[in-house]
A and B are shown apart, each in its own frame.
Chain A
Amino acid sequence: MKILVLGAGTVGTSVAAALAAESNDITVVDTDALRLRELSEKLDLRTVHGHAAHPSVLAQAGAEDAELLIAVTNSDETNIIACQVADALYNTPTKIARVREAEYLDHPELITRGRLAINVVISPEHLVCRHVQRLIEYPGALQVLDFADGHAVLVATRALVGGALVGHQIKELRGHLPATVDARVAAIFRRGKPVRPEGNTVIEADDEVFFLADRRDIRTVMSELRKLDKPARRVFLAGGGNIGKALAKAMENSYSVKILERSRERSKLLAEDLQNSIVLVGDAADEDLLREENIDQTDVYCALTNDDEANILSAMLAKKLGCPRVISLINRPAYAELVEGGPIDIAVSPQQVTLSALLTHIRQGTMVRVHSLRRGAAEAIEAVALGDRRTSRVIGRAVEELELPAGTTLGGIVRGEKLLIAHHDVVIEHNDHIILFLVDKRQLRHVEQMFRADATAI
């Protein structure tokens, strides 16, 4: 696929890298020549130097025959205009723009009414905020991912001694759960390595377990894997940037929220916009301040500044001062590997979150949702089965008949609004949403092909 990436910032670079690895034709446009040179040396892609919204630059970058345009420059306006230009002049079929400014995001009709020539708007702050909010809502969860409009949820959690299932075989799970509750263990990572979850696989303490369940049953299932943490009530957010502010706003009515911001100017703005949160002014590394604000009685501490090092240190400090759960935004994968599960409970990578949202829209065919797991090492995919027994390679077949590529597990099927756990005899029907789990990303192609409705067969 010919893809145009506008902007070689963090997200632009990572999306280009991810897509180049899947043998797409990538062209990256940016105004920073040095950045582009570095990029082209490192990755197999083309670069064009210039302003991303200028028709001449777009033409030079091959907008004429590009199938997809991803506008992720650091200016909302450039992104929007670039999409407009590409649409008007080059008829680019799919245009994705990153928009940060809440003023635009507050008016979704800009896009839905078709006034702006953008197919998808990606807002990193919004995505990250939602992501973190989920983690706070489900204590003990490392990752919470929605499938089929929220009817099914994939949860990652660390198995701990004290969970009823720990030390037992997976097949015992059904016996533990109430009759109405069904769940499936989709994957297990033991010391960073994937373990194929069979019925007789024994779950050990400290395993990272991914399970699929109905939204309402998350807590029930989680209690099998670890002693349940009590629901969070007091939340401390360090960093009052866009993410911190959005998070405080989303949670202030159901949690007691404190938000710490370094700049006096910014804190005034926060205090004006937030109605029920307590806005504090100071440094997140200030031990006295944290102690004064009873950090030891806080349920969750989130370090949300845009500085990895500061986030890690302040989260570690909060942990040391007695906060039971700390979440930190960490962009660099290396840092995340280093501290997650150790001094910091959960590392959230804004870049990964944005990337996986972008990837969902980039994947071909019938893939409606793709989530990156474990910092991109694995993926969870939601695919729709379309067609009939003749045109599709999956419809009409029972789960056990499917020829799934190696390292791929079928987690569940959402039919209508109901999550069916994928027992071996379930037969797939038209319009089923199938949730797959890929430990090996290289198999993605095969999975895509499996679900592509075969036009030649009709």
Chain B
Amino acid sequence: MRVFVVQRIIGAVIALSGAIMLPPIALSLAFDDGTTAAFVESALLSLVVGALLWLPVRRARGELRLRDGFIVTTAIWVLVSGSCALPFMLGPSKLGFTDAYFEAASGLTTTGATVITNLDQLPQSLLFYRQSLCFLGGMGIVILAIAILPMLRIGGSQLFRAETTGPVKDAKLTPRIAETARALWLVYVGLNAACALSFWLGGMTLLDAIGHAFSAVATGGFSTHDASMGYFDSPLLEAICIVFMFLGGVNFALHFVAWRRASGAPYFRDAEIKAYLAIAASVSVLIAFDTYLRDVFPTFMESLRHATFQTVSNMTTTGYTTVGFAGWPGFAPMLLVLIGFVGGCSGSTSGGMKVVRVMILFRQGAREVLQLVHPRGRFLVKIGGHSVPGAVLAAVTAFCTLYVFSYVVMALALAATGVDLVTAWSAVAACINNMGPGLGVVSVHFRDLNDASVWICSFAMILGRLEVFTVLVLFTPAFWKE
């Protein structure tokens, strides 16, 4: 491992993470809400710590190896979450380190779970800061770093490989990795702008519009109001939100190709997006019927409105709520938590296991059944008419197994700290899938959890965001052996 190169990159990223605080500083000055000092102190602290790491090794040069990529990726998420937690500690929210770290990690992993209960009383600058964490987290600090920090001279795709989501990692859009990152970033910013504009035209204030666009496209789910999207109580805004959450859950490579060719054809050819749409639509309708028949809502249209919003919100792992689903009778709350495991498409901002992995897993199961009926048959697992190579199948199976295993272990750990079972299972599901709201105690916020549980949840968020392997590989002795 090239310790110095890794250290140089991490130092630079931490120092620059102070830059996230510049817009909030400007806002706090404009509103004169007294949080300027907190942001300036946080920014300076990040800058100093980063610089201390960076200065001694600033001349270190060298190609990153695959292994270094794991460390860099994980370290950036873990450490930047730390530096981004500072404003929550120093600012008017007055959180302890545990809660502040959770809040920052929740933003950067686009989970959207919060420990803050009085959002509507907080200054605009701090709220905007929270939203911008989602924005940055959405496409990943790593891609941002590659796109805007050419001084890092990271040319290897290994970093990208450790970062991008989904099983097919070599579907590159443009030949150079930095070009790819820039292309994806462009699409991402474009979607955010379109979303903000739509929200603004739909009746939000400009700051709310931008803020919610940041967390909708990033499928984060932070809101500037305690009541989340329910605050606006507007079917139009909810519809806009559904569209952009859904788009955020679509593979950004697909957005890019569609945008470059100026045609919608790539969307219609993609097998994953079809399954994604089918699952979202059928679960929405199912829950709409269920809630209507159980008299949760007076009319079917009302049921359909909330069911669709909540399904898309949870499946894309955004985690906005309108009326809150934890109290719905029947199986709906459970299904809405579990749907987060499916998540959005690979290569999107959403969390979960990703639709394509679930498809592969499901088709593997179907294949086994067919094989039992026709012992001499030759069956392949296919996605979009193409067979999935054995190595990918094995990787997907391993991923899903490890994902669920990690979930179970963490949920048990949460229960061990004294949290009730419904809360424990749903809280860890909400965190590992980067979804946000759970059931029980954590149906609205995570404030009432004990410190140990909050740390476990923070870990779950980062573990889920980095697709388990990236983090877990660091815990294997083999990784550290030269």
A residues adjacent to B (C-beta < 8 A)? 261, 264, 267-268, 270-272, 275, 278-282, 289, 292-293
The count of residues in chain B whose C-beta lies closer than 8 Å to any C-beta of chain A is 12
Please name the residue on chain A nearest to B387 by beta carbon.
Answer: A272
> Within residues 104 to 162 of chain B, which ones have a CB less than 8 A from any CB in chain A?
none
Instruction: Verify A293–B374 contact, CB threshold 8 A.
Output: yes
Quote the shortest CB–CB distance from A349 to chain B (angstroms): 30
Contact A271 B385 (CB under 8 A): no
Instruction: Name which residue of chain B comes closest to A240, CB basis.
Output: B378
Q: Does any Cβ of A come within 8 Å of B379's Cβ? A: yes
**Contact for A267 among B375, B378, B382, B387, CB less than 8 A:** B378
Assuming A280-B374, A293-B374, is B386 touching A272 (CB within 8 A)? yes
CB distance B376 to A280 under 8 Å? yes
List residues of chain B with CB within 8 A of the CB of A289. 376
Q: Which A residues are in CB contact (< 8 Å) with B385?
A: 275
**Residues from chain A with Cβ under 8 Å of B379 in the complex:** 271, 278-279
Chain B residue nearest to A289 (CB atoms) is B376
Is B375's CB under 8 angstroms from A292's CB? yes
* Beta-carbon contact of A278 and B380 below 8 Å: no
Task: Choose from A268, A275, A292 the contact partner of B378 (Cβ within 8 Å).
Answer: A268
B281 to chain A, nearest CB (A): 23
A-chain residues with CB within 8 Å of residue B382 when the two chains form the complex = 272, 275
B477 at the binding interface (Cβ < 8 Å): no
B377 within 8 A of A: yes
Verify A280–B377 contact, CB threshold 8 A.
Answer: yes
A-contacting residues, B361-395, CB 8 Å: 370, 374-380, 382, 385-387
CB distance from A20 to the nearest CB of B (A): 46
Docked complex Cα distance between A278 and B446 (Å): 51
Contact A272 B380 (CB under 8 A): yes
**A and B contact pairs by CB, cutoff 8 A, 11 listed:** A264-B378, A268-B380, A268-B387, A271-B379, A271-B387, A278-B374, A280-B377, A280-B378, A281-B376, A289-B376, A292-B375
Whether A270 pairs with B376 at a CB distance below 8 angstroms is: no
* Cβ-closest chain A residue relative to B373: A278
Q: How far, in angstroms, from A279 to B380 measured CA to CA in the complex? A: 10
Q: Which residue of B lies closest to A293 (CB)?
A: B374
- Taking CB atoms, residues of chain B closer than 8 Å to A261 are 378
A293 contacts B376, C-beta separation under 8 Å: yes
Cα A86 to Cα B385 in complex, Å, equals 42
Query: Chain A residues with Cβ under 8 A from B377's Cβ?
Result: 278-281
B residues near A278, Cβ cutoff 8 Å:
370, 374, 377, 379
Q: How far is the CB of B364 from chain A (nearest CB, A)?
A: 14
Taking A279-B379, A280-B378 as given, write out 7 further A-B residue pairs in contact, using a Cβ cutoff of 8 Å, ordered by the A residue number.
A268-B380, A270-B378, A271-B378, A272-B387, A280-B376, A281-B376, A293-B376
Most buried by A among B377, B378, B382, B387: B378
In the complex formed, the residue of B with least CB distance to A283 is: B376
Q: What is the chain B residue whose CB lies nearest that of A282?
A: B376
B residues 307-334 in Cβ contact with A at 8 Å: none
Whether B376 and A292, one on each chain, are in contact in the complex, defined by CB atoms closer than 8 angstroms, is yes
Are B375 and A279 in contact, with the CB atoms below 8 A? no
User: How far, in whole Å, are A282 and B374 apart by their CA atoms in the complex?
Assistant: 12
Measured between beta carbons, the chain A residues less than 8 angstroms from B386 are 272
Q: A280 — which chain B residues lie within 8 A by C-beta?
A: 374, 376-378
| B-chain residues with CB within 8 Å of residue A268 when the two chains form the complex | 378, 380, 387
Distance in angstroms between the alpha carbons of A261 and B374 in the assembled complex: 14
Assembled-state Cα–Cα distance A289/B377 (Å) = 10
Q: Which residue from chain A places its CB closest to the CB of B370 in the assembled complex? A: A278
Is B376's CB under 8 angstroms from A271's CB? Answer: no
Of chain B, the residue at the smallest CB distance from A266 is B378
Chain B's closest residue to A281 (CB) is: B378
Q: Which residues of B contact A281 (CB under 8 A)?
A: 376-378
C-alpha gap A67/B69 in the complex (Å): 70
Q: How many angstroms from the CA of A278 to the CA of B366 in the assembled complex?
A: 13
Q: With CB as the reference atom, state the residue of chain A lying closest to B375.
A: A292
Closest approach, in angstroms, between the C-beta of A256 and any C-beta of chain B?
A: 12
A440 to chain B, nearest CB (A): 50
Residues of chain A within 8 A (CB-CB) of B378 are 261, 264, 267-268, 270-271, 279-281
Q: Determine the chain B residues whose CB is within 8 A of the CB of A282 once the complex forms.
A: 376
User: Which B residue's beta carbon lies closest to that of A264?
Assistant: B378
**Cα(A261)–Cα(B377), bound, Å:** 10
| Distance between B274 CB and nearest chain A CB, rounded to angstroms | 15
- Closest chain-A Cβ to B306's Cβ sits at a distance in Å of 38
Instruction: Tell me the bound Cα distance from A271 to B387 in angstroms.
Output: 8
A272: chain B residues within 8 A (beta carbon): 380, 382, 386-387
Which residues of the other chain, A, contact B376 by a CB distance below 8 angstroms?
280-282, 289, 292-293
Q: Considering the chains assembled together, what is the distance between the CA atoms of A265 and B296 in angstroms?
A: 57
Q: Which residues of A contact B374 (CB under 8 A)?
A: 278, 280, 292-293
Q: Which of B374, B376, B386, B387 has the most chain A CB atoms closer than 10 A to its own CB? A: B376
List, in ascending order, chain A residues with CB within 8 A of B370's CB: 278
| A268 closest partner in B (C-beta) | B378
The 3 closest A-B pairs by CB, nearest first: A267-B378, A279-B378, A271-B380
Which residue in chain A gives the minimum CB-CB distance to B386? A272
User: How distant is B457 from chain A, measured CB to nearest CB, in Å?
Assistant: 43
Per the bound structure, the CA–CA distance linking A321 and B210 in Å amounts to: 72
**Which residues does chain A contribute within 8 Å of B380, judged by CB atoms?**
268, 271-272
Cα distance A271–B376 in the bound complex, in angstroms: 13
Closest chain A CB from B369 CB (angstroms): 13
